[in-house]
Amino acid sequence: MKLIVNGVEQQVTAKTMAELVTEMGYEDVPVATARNQTVVAKRNRETTDIQEGDRIEILIPMQGG
Amino acid sequence: MADALTLYGTTLQSRLMLGTAQYPSPAILAEAIKISKAEIVTVSLRRETTGGTGGREFWTMIKELGVHVLPNTAGCHTAKEAILTAELARDVFDTDWIKLEVIGHADTLQPDVFGLVDGARELTAQGFKVFPYTTDDIVVAEKLLAVGCEVLMPWGAPIGSGKGLNNRFALKAMRAHFPRVPLVVDAGIGVPSHAAEAMELGYDAILLNTAVAKAGDPVQMAKGFALGLEAGRLAYLAGAMEPRDMAVPSTPVLGLAFSEI
């Protein structure tokens, strides 16, 4: 299915947010996730289904002022 | 603990809060944090750039330093964006601290104080401990306190400008008006004397980033700031003399030789 992940269209096989995080290569770094501008907490990723056309954000810790 | 600083129940020995952006390298950032003795560092959440691993290395390094992390909402221009960013930050950083920035002007990066108060109200209701990046406006400060903020962070000058304390009068008035609220000068500090000046006014802490990160030698500058803050704090605690308009000799006049001539 096609999703928009961090602003870029992606073809993925993941069906849940947890699977998507792994598929996108973030299994070794803490990430924050949002689906259609709603936060998906860590504890809810395995039970949060993703659907065609979803806009997903996967964010990682970065330098900040 | 002598002269410790307490923010939202967390006791700190250092009064310097250091930003982590724009350093020449992660190693220099780590050394700057260590030598500054900062116990709080600010961080952000961003999309990972294509092929980049900087964010991952950065987070590993910060964890190893064992400092308190203060996530920010930098770049947010509405309360809604800032609230969403704060919620994301809490989930990934496992902290309810948030440096709340709601930017109102693209050139000055001046806070949108209306959005700031709205955001602080909602985040406080959600259990966040809000560190609001605000102006030196006392009316706004009162509203931030009313919605639950226990720390105020007025700007010294626009973010990244290095101009120092643009409105010393307003900052002094703010200190006098809120004698028991922890006040942190956030933004605009350029050199250690600016930080010392704020501490001499009785400010509780300083948050800065660019002044260290963009120094010719960030590690040396970080040490300079640590010393500057300490000097300013000691001066505040000691109590400064009253300035006078006329000269007053410091050496005794009595007993001066040739005084009869």
Q: What average pLDDT does the segment B165-179 reach?
A: 97
CA–CA distance, B125 with B189 (Å, rounded to integer): 32
User: Can B163 be counted among the known catalytic residues?
Assistant: no
Given pLDDT bands bounded at 50, 70 and 90, which one contains residue A29? Answer: confident
Q: Would you state the structure tokens that stand for residue B91, as one six-digit string?
A: 């989930």
Q: Specify the residue for token string 């900087």.
A: B54
Report the mean per-residue pLDDT for chain B: 94
Given pLDDT bands bounded at 50, 70 and 90, which one contains residue B54? Answer: low
Q: Would you state the structure tokens that stand for residue A50, as one six-digit string?
A: 């993703």
Q: Among B37, B80, B99, B143, which one carries the catalytic annotation?
A: B99
Given pLDDT bands bounded at 50, 70 and 90, which one contains residue B140? Answer: very high
Nearest C-alpha in A relative to B58: A62
Helices B138-146/B168-177 angle, 10° precision: 40
Report the pLDDT value the prediction gives residue A27, as an integer from 0 to 100: 86
Chain A residues near residue B62 by CB distance under 8 angstroms: 61
Helices B192-200/B218-238 angle, 10° precision: 20
Report the pLDDT value the prediction gives residue B172, as an integer from 0 to 100: 97
Given pLDDT bands bounded at 50, 70 and 90, which one contains residue B260? Answer: confident
Percent of chain B with pLDDT over 90: 87
Given pLDDT bands bounded at 50, 70 and 90, which one contains residue B97? Answer: very high
Report the pLDDT value the prediction gives residue A13, as an integer from 0 to 100: 96
**Statement: residue B256 has pLDDT above 90:** no
Report the pLDDT value the prediction gives residue B51, as an integer from 0 to 100: 55
Q: Would you state the structure tokens that stand for residue A63, as one six-digit string?
A: 């330098």
Report the mean per-residue pLDDT for chain A: 94
Report the pLDDT value the prediction gives residue B52, as an integer from 0 to 100: 55
**Statement: residue B53 has pLDDT above 60:** no
Kind plus residue range of the DSSP H or E element containing B206? strand B205-208
Report the pLDDT value the prediction gives residue B119, as an integer from 0 to 100: 98
Report the pLDDT value the prediction gives residue B55, as an integer from 0 to 100: 75
Report the pLDDT value the prediction gives residue B50, as an integer from 0 to 100: 62
- Verify whether the Cβ–Cβ distance A63 to B88 is below 8 Å: no
Q: Would you state the structure tokens that stand for residue B4, as one six-digit string?
A: 């410790």
Report the pLDDT value the prediction gives residue B2, as an integer from 0 to 100: 75
Dump pLDDT digits (tens) for B190-204. Answer: 999 999 999 999 999
Dump pLDDT digits (tens) for B216-237. Answer: 999 999 999 999 999 999 999 9
Given pLDDT bands bounded at 50, 70 and 90, which one contains residue B212? Answer: very high
- DSSP, collapsed to helix, strand or coil, labels residue B252 as coil
The interface residues of chain A toward chain B in range 5-64, judged by CB-CB distance below 8 A, are 6-7, 26, 28-34, 37, 39, 41-42, 57-64
Q: What average pLDDT does the segment A47-53 reach?
A: 96
Chain B residues near residue A58 by CB distance under 8 angstroms: 47-48
Q: Would you state the structure tokens that stand for residue B201, as one six-digit string?
A: 């006014």
Q: Would you state the structure tokens that stand for residue B96, as one six-digit string?
A: 């309810």
Report the pLDDT value the prediction gives residue A28, as an integer from 0 to 100: 84
Report the pLDDT value the prediction gives residue B48, as an integer from 0 to 100: 85
